[in-house]
Structure 1
Amino acid sequence: MHSNSNRKSLLIILSVASIVISATLFISIFARGYRLDPNNGFKLKVTGLLSATSKPKSASVYVDDLLVTATDDTLNLNPGNYQIKISKDGYYAWKKNIEIKPELVYQADAQLFRSSFDLKPITQGKIINPVVSPDSTKIIYAVASTSATSKENGLYLLELTELPLLMSKNTQRFLSPNLPYLDWSKYSFEFSPNSKQILATSKTNPNVYLISLDQTLDSKNLFDISSRLPQIKKDWQNIQSQTIQNKLEKLPLELKSVIATDSTVLAFNTSEDKILYQASESATLSERFITPPPTQSTQAQQRTLQKDSYYIYDFKDDTNFLIGNTAISQISWIPYSNNLVFIQDKSIGVVEYDHTNYQSVYSTEYLPPKILLPTPDGYRLIISISTSKNNPENLFSVTIKDR
């Protein structure tokens, strides 16, 4: 009896173990994209996976113009090439030609941008000589209203944070009014490499001022530092050069040699797995620097570089994409995304890092913006424009995407 009981227990354990192992194996095979094919005697067939996500969610997903689901969702597709479209009312559609590979997941992560913009004023006077800080969180500028005696004339600082920001006059810091011997609208400004100080210089006034932005500014701590200016400039240049060298450390040696280190365009995305750079010379990169992963992007690369053009290098995929030439300006990453923003002619455009999904998110019939700065949260742009031929230049915010 005791022997039969042991056998039954052993059979139960073996049966449970067999079921668990079979279920685990089935789940593993299912996760790798294998499916039962009812058209072929229910034999296993290998597929690939499309993971379609979007911001904002609940966008329609089309595969070869056929509506199949809504985001966020994962689909099984036979290996092959497909055109994917993710769209939602009120936003530009995201489109990409992709290749689905057996047992691999293709991640279609669509950032949808508004198809209509809302322009909100930040300043209401006339801003002069606006300059963006190296860390892209501050804008320094002078204000000159039509009245020379206006109490609003002077030096201002706009500081941006990742917190939701109500763009209004209250977000500006009034650093200093004009003084009897000092008209800030006659000065130009330069930030220190750490964005904590500015140099103020003028073509009409020999005095030069070094201003600390974390201290209260008044006439008592405004000193002429013109005699120290050459040394300050040299120190700042050395710091800037070291900062650039630190950024270049993780790049392949061959790529380092063709990056324009004197260019202001050299920036990592938020996750630091991609870098935006400007080519210092024409060159051809090696076909590969590392063994690429199986999920490497199949979008068309450009490893033949043209002098002064802008490119994105992806460290994980070992891919290199052309973004544009000198026809574009003020190019930068949109924080927490794989998208870039830039000015071309009189329009502001956004584009994905692999040079797909270009959209114009704002355009003006007047002069192109002198300032183009994404807010730290990535949902708005700060621009300096004139809204009409006779209106003075001011700062505005433009919302380009939603949470």
Structure 2
Amino acid sequence: MNSRVAAVAFGIVTIVLVTFLVIAYAYGYRPNWEERKIETTGILVATSDPVGATVFVNDKVQTATNSTVNLKPGIYKVKIAKDGYFEWEKTIEIKREEVFTTNAFLFPKAPDLRPITLNGALNPTISPDETKIAYIVASASATANGVYTLTMSGLPVINNINARQIFRDNGLILSAAEGLIWSTDATTLIASLSSKLYYQLETDRLNLSPLTISTHDLDLLTKPKPGLNGRIYSPDETKYLYVATASGSLPKVLTTYLPGTNPTSEVRNLIAGKTYVYDIKEDRNYLLPDGKYLWFPTSRHLVSYTKNEIAVLEYDGANKAIVYTGPFVDGYVFVWPNWSKIVILTSLNQPSQNSENLYTINLR
């Protein structure tokens, strides 16, 4: 009986001890055999997309993504590199019993450029849900001219095969349209003519006789969502992009430290006219370089574009990757929903009104 009790007691003690050791290991406790003591470490979770990149800590190779590295508390320069891709680099602070995750998205140094349209694309505009692009073709055959919508799906894009013709413009009525306007719910397009006529087009079918609508109907169909106040929210609504309308100081909201907070230095003294990103969750504010911006679907990145340059960078302004240098029409830059491509309007020949086509910059 006593031996049975002893065996049970030994088993319980063993389970408790093993559980304690597992929990301590998970929290970063490691034995230092040379100094004969237990040290507390932090954990670096090195993840990347694509995987299989090399992880450097203070310029020394540590491992490959996706894996973890235990580090003593301190400041470290972490670099993630893969052949053919821009390097990811950030200086981080490792703290006791805390986990820092890199979430490094690597972008190709030489992405290829492929045409979506071949017969020109006039007045392209993206839908409010950012899943379709509408445009006008006016330099093709009589049956091919008209209004098209391109669905930005995960399917391969092969020379307009993803596009649907929703209006056949035999008489080139809409080729002179000032623009295409999406309805707020992204189900309807309105073609605006210079004569102040508005044609309503349903996007799920070929419109044989488009409906003429009034300016009042136009306002109802395209009424913007309330409450944005000039803020452009990230897809996951955890951050927003904005231009400061006045100089001033941004007050702190959070007074407690959040583990794993972005280590990039923030800027809370605002300058009128400058562009910033505010992280709602972490209550941190980042100044961006001058340029035009739109959100990348990851919610952790932005697309920036200036004259003859398009780049992807993190929302705090770090790790800028220039993915395209060359001509493109200002303002016509769109991002594929699964972030595999960026769409631009450009002409690789002598520019003219009908020679500009939609091209994809392929990131994956």
TM-score range, shorter chain: over 0.9
Whether the 8 Å contact between 2:101 and 2:260 is mirrored in structure 1 is no
Aligned residue number for residue 232 of structure 2: 266
Aligned residue number for residue 212 of structure 2: 224
2:303 counterpart SS class:
strand
Whether the 8 Å contact between 1:343 and 1:368 is mirrored in structure 2 is no
**Amino acid in the other structure paired with 1:397:** T
Q: Give the one of 86, 99, 108 matched to 1:105.
A: 99
| Alpha-carbon separation, structure 2, partners of 1:322 and 1:181 | 46
1:350 aligns with 2:312: yes
Aligned residue number for residue 212 of structure 1: 202
Aligned residue number for residue 288 of structure 2: 323
Shift of 1:29: 1.2
Aligned residue number for residue 158 of structure 1: 150
Q: 1:186 to 1:297 in 2, by over 3 A?
A: closer
1:340 counterpart SS class:
strand
Shift of 1:180: 3.3
Q: 1:88 to 1:319 in 2, by over 3 A?
A: same
State the number of aligned residues: 362
Deviations 1:287-331 (A, max 9, x none): 334534132222101122233433222232222212233xx22x2
Q: 1:144 to 1:216 in 2, by over 3 A?
A: closer
| Alpha-carbon separation, structure 1, partners of 2:137 and 2:313 | 33
**Amino acid in the other structure paired with 1:279:** A
| Alpha-carbon separation, structure 2, partners of 1:399 and 1:390 | 23
Aligned residue number for residue 344 of structure 2: 383
Aligned residue number for residue 17 of structure 1: 12
Aligned residue number for residue 240 of structure 1: 224
1:277 counterpart SS class:
strand
Whether the 8 Å contact between 1:277 and 1:311 is mirrored in structure 2 is yes
Q: 1:355 to 1:211 in 2, by over 3 A?
A: same
| Alpha-carbon separation, structure 2, partners of 1:39 and 1:109 | 34
| Alpha-carbon separation, structure 2, partners of 1:185 and 1:355 | 40
Structure 1, unaligned runs of 5 or more: 249-260
Q: 1:155 to 1:342 in 2, by over 3 A?
A: same
**Amino acid in the other structure paired with 1:172:** A
Deviations 1:45-84 (A, max 9, x none): 1111111011111110111111111111111111111111
| Alpha-carbon separation, structure 2, partners of 1:199 and 1:176 | 12
Q: 1:368 to 1:347 in 2, by over 3 A?
A: farther
Q: 1:334 to 1:241 in 2, by over 3 A?
A: closer
1:174 aligns with 2:165: yes
| Alpha-carbon separation, structure 2, partners of 1:212 and 1:318 | 42
2:161 counterpart SS class:
helix
Whether the 8 Å contact between 2:328 and 2:345 is mirrored in structure 1 is no
| Alpha-carbon separation, structure 1, partners of 2:362 and 2:64 | 24
Q: 1:362 to 1:181 in 2, by over 3 A?
A: closer
Which has more helix, going by share of residues? 1
Whether the 8 Å contact between 2:267 and 2:287 is mirrored in structure 1 is yes
Aligned residue number for residue 267 of structure 2: 302
1:43 aligns with 2:34: no
**Amino acid in the other structure paired with 2:234:** F
Query: What percentage of residue pairs aligned between the two structures are identical?
Result: 30
| Structure 2 length-normalised TM | 0.92
2:124 counterpart SS class:
strand
Q: Give the one of 360, 376, 395 matched to 2:322.
A: 360
Alignment of 1:89-168 (within 5 A): 89-145=83-139, 150-161=142-153, 163-168=154-159
Whether the 8 Å contact between 1:347 and 1:363 is mirrored in structure 2 is yes
| Alpha-carbon separation, structure 1, partners of 2:148 and 2:322 | 30
Alignment of 1:81-92 (within 5 A): 81-92=75-86
Whether the 8 Å contact between 1:115 and 1:361 is mirrored in structure 2 is yes
